[in-house]
Structure 1
Amino acid sequence: MTKVQSEHFIFAATSEVEDLGGGLKRQILGYNHELMAVKVWFAEGAEGYTHKHRHSQVTYVEEGEFHFNIDGEIRVLRKGDSCLIPPHVEHGAISPTGGILIDTFSPVRSDFIEGS
């Protein structure tokens, strides 16, 4: 059964970091049925393969450099930059330097928390 929402306080030291393989790791920062925030680590050269989903997404670059492809348009984003990914739009990113993203989704990505 999927949880309806996260705890009110989430501590980095005790919150699970999931190894996604391919140099990617993910940590859920908080969520309810309307909104989710996720921290994603990219190793140097790691790729978030092109995909699409029904969720609106805003991504903030916390650290590193990312080459984002959103609907066929490629832009380089660095620390402090962000992007909006509308629902059902193909997107992906490669990080030549390694780095950290903060992804926010609406509604919640229930596929990230199923079984939790």
Structure 2
Amino acid sequence: MSESAHFTFASEAEIEDIGGGLKRQMLGYNHELMAVKIWFSEGAIGYNHAHRHSQVTYVVEGEFHFNIDGVTKILKPGDSCYIPPHTDHGATCPTGGILIDTFSPAREDFLEDK
């Protein structure tokens, strides 16, 4: 796996439309760590899934209804959550909003076709 440049400029980094009202922008990564900015349009759903990576998510703006291992909480700007590896999780965003997701190790699947 490669690594990102040392500096990422929001105005220059690709914003990828991943469908379902979601867009993502890579902020920085190497094989051990990855940070990603995710935009949710109003009503968008990040469907429940699980992966081998540890994840911390920070809410930049909007309201998110996060489900982690069957427990749902409402997160607002400044809130965050930790998702252990192999734990079922997902989120809905009734308002539209932005998240910063961090993963360890990096999500190699996010870099396919790059």
What TM bracket, shorter-length normalisation? over 0.9
Which residue matches 1:84? 82
Is 1:114 the equivalent of 2:112? Answer: yes
Runs of 4+ in 1 over 6 A off after TM superposition: none
Written as runs of structure 1 = structure 2, the 5 A alignment for 1:4-83 is 4-83=2-81
Deviation at 1:115, TM superposition (A): 2.8
Pairwise CA RMSD: 0.7
- Choose 3-12 or 39-48, whichever is displaced more: 3-12
Q: Distance in 1 between matches of 2:95 and 2:113?
A: 33
Q: Distance in 2 between matches of 1:30 and 1:89?
A: 24
Q: Secondary structure at the match of 1:112?
A: helix
TM-score (norm 2): 0.98
Segments of structure 2 that go 5 or more residues without pairing to the other structure are none
Identity percentage over the alignment? 71
